[in-house]
Amino acid sequence: MISSEARWGGGVTLLLFILIFLPLVAVLANVVIPGLFFGRVEFQGLNLLGDIFVRPLWRQSLWNSVSLAFGVATLGTVLGGVLAMIRAQWDFAVARLLDVTAWALLIVPSFMLAQGWVLFASRDGLMNQWLGWEWLPTAVFQPSGLVVVMALSKFPLAYLAIVAAMEWNVKQFGQAAQLCGAGPFTVWRTVQLPLLAPSFIAGWTLVFMDTVGDFGLPAALSTVYKFPTLTYSIYSAIYQSPVRFDMAGVLAFYLVLILTVAMALLMLAMRRSRFDFLNARAIKTIKRKPRHAWVLNTIVGVFLLICLGIPIGTSTLFSFMRHAGEGLSIGNLTLEHYFSLFGQNGGDHRLLGYKEGLLHSLLIAAIAAVLSMIIGFVVAYVLAFTESRFKSAIQLFSIVSLAVPGVVLGIGYIFIWNQKWLEPIGLHLYGSPSLLVLSAVAGSIPYAVRMQLGAFASVSGSMLKAASIQGAGVFDRMTQIVMPLVRQSLLIATLTAFGTSIFDLALASMLQPPNYVLMPLVIDRAFEFGRYGYATAATVVSGGMVVLLIMVLQAAGNWIFRRMDGDRR
């Protein structure tokens, strides 16, 4: 007889396989047999993989993605590392703003940030209009300029990884080395650097992976600068005529291969991390007041203003301008773009209504957030509190999901859920909003699992064993013991999944049903058609509404939790 824990473990393993691993396998299988999912079986072996080095567009897309990701990861890690060391050692006024900005840059979608930079630095942009900086477009819209722009938005991944590693004071090791005759440089090289190296490597790989899988930047740049990357070329292959599934499959294979190598590097860095210096005498780093605090506040403040103020500030200014080319003057200020958001088609027959797209995106994100929280909770429970034989497979699937970008997941969903034989059983989901929900759930599960695993670490397994001895089943243990103890993490996981799902441009572009409007696509298409005022107004309203909604839901959840605690007393 199969135990209850085995059934739960097998169930979530099958679910993760269908949502995450099967689409990836489908994409990779299409490389070897391009017509496998469309009734045209043409076995070509691995010969097609070599074409990436002889076809100009394929080769250029691969080179652009790798070089851009390498440059952004290196510069972003330097910036994040310097800021992390400043934040860990000094107590200054702008320190809290640094943390807020880092999280804001992680939450704001890359295509919105990229649109702000385009409006700031293009030939018709803000700086050229105000100051006549004709050199700025050439400086920004080239490979090295793109590295700088993307590093300014991706550095928080490295910053958060490194600053977390500097929480504990390790000066005693350096002092011991000095007593043995080591100089300052030797102490830094032999003590401090080895202890921080894993966090720097982890930060570098996180930035690299996020950059190489980014779809938002090339989508925004396509209006002013031709810079094909693997993600955008995959999208173009699906939506050109004729459809090039062979091209999409090959590019997706190399994209996954690059991300897999980066993921392996990340796992190696985590295994090499040393935590044995954390003992009973371990103390946290005490931040000191800098001697010239105003200098530090000014430098960090200006840097944050560039990172977040330029893209968000530029988009906000453009949202109030009647005509983008007439500059910021009293006569050119208007609210008509905000009013047009909720009018019929935004005043343009090429654009579908923003209001309808916003409602659709909110609904899909809300459903996906709840489902991903539930699935993530069960997955975390199986990993933390059971001895299921499926734990290795579950861990593999949840890690693999981190390395699968939205465009690859979207192609896999097209292959799997666009089969004619699924129609009689009602599972032909391609072209329906249900597939958007499933893809959003798949993209949110890894974050939900890791957030809840962290909370589960504080739950004693002895309580669950005692409940099991008393006859409580797995479901009762999850809902009556674990869930009340980790309810705060459940709320945060749900809100995080909601915030990330609603702005996913890649999956929305790949899986949009016919005549079904989605908010990220409305913004992207308005920007593509040159309706900058409309696009930026939609960006400001969408971002502000989502942030406000998350804050309200979090406050409401905390209030409910306090009331529940009061009733128990």
> What is the SS3 assignment for 284?
strand
What does the alpha-carbon distance between residue 340 and residue 348 come to, in Å, rounded to a whole number? 10
Higher pLDDT, 2 or 8: 8
> 140-158: per-residue pLDDT in tens?
888 888 899 999 988 888 8
Give mean pLDDT, residues 536-564.
Answer: 83
Q: Which tokens is 167 given? A: 């929480």
Mean pLDDT of 168-186: 59
Helix (H, G, I), strand (E, B), or coil: what is residue 288? strand
Using the predicted structure, report yes or no on whether residue 569 has a pLDDT greater than 60.
no
What are the distances in angstroms from CA 79 to CA 93, 101, 148, 526?
19, 14, 11, 33
Q: Where are the beta strands (DSSP E) in 40-124?
A: none
- Under a CB-based contact definition with an 8 Å cutoff, are residues 503 and 112 in contact? yes
* Diameter of the chain measured on Cα atoms: 79
Better pLDDT: 250 or 283:
250
Written in H, E and C, the secondary structure of 496-514 is: HHHHHHHCCHHHHHHHCCC
Average pLDDT, the chain: 78
Residues 290-316: tens digit of each pLDDT:
777 788 888 888 998 999 888 888 888
Span 185-197, pLDDT tens digits: 565 556 666 666 7
Q: How confident is residue 56, by pLDDT bands cut at 50, 70 and 90?
A: confident
Phi/psi class of residue 160: alpha, beta or left (left: φ > 0; alpha: ψ in -120 to 50)? alpha
| Assigned token pair, 544 | 């502000």
With pLDDT > 70 as the criterion, what percentage of the chain qualifies? 81
Residue 70's pLDDT band, with cuts at 50, 70 and 90, is: very high
Instruction: Please provide residue 31's backbone torsions phi and psi, each rounded to the nearest 5 degrees.
Output: -70, -40
The confidence band for 74, taking pLDDT boundaries of 50, 70 and 90, is very high
Cα gap 112→539, rounded to integer Å: 7
Average pLDDT over residues 484-491: 79
pLDDT score at 346: 44
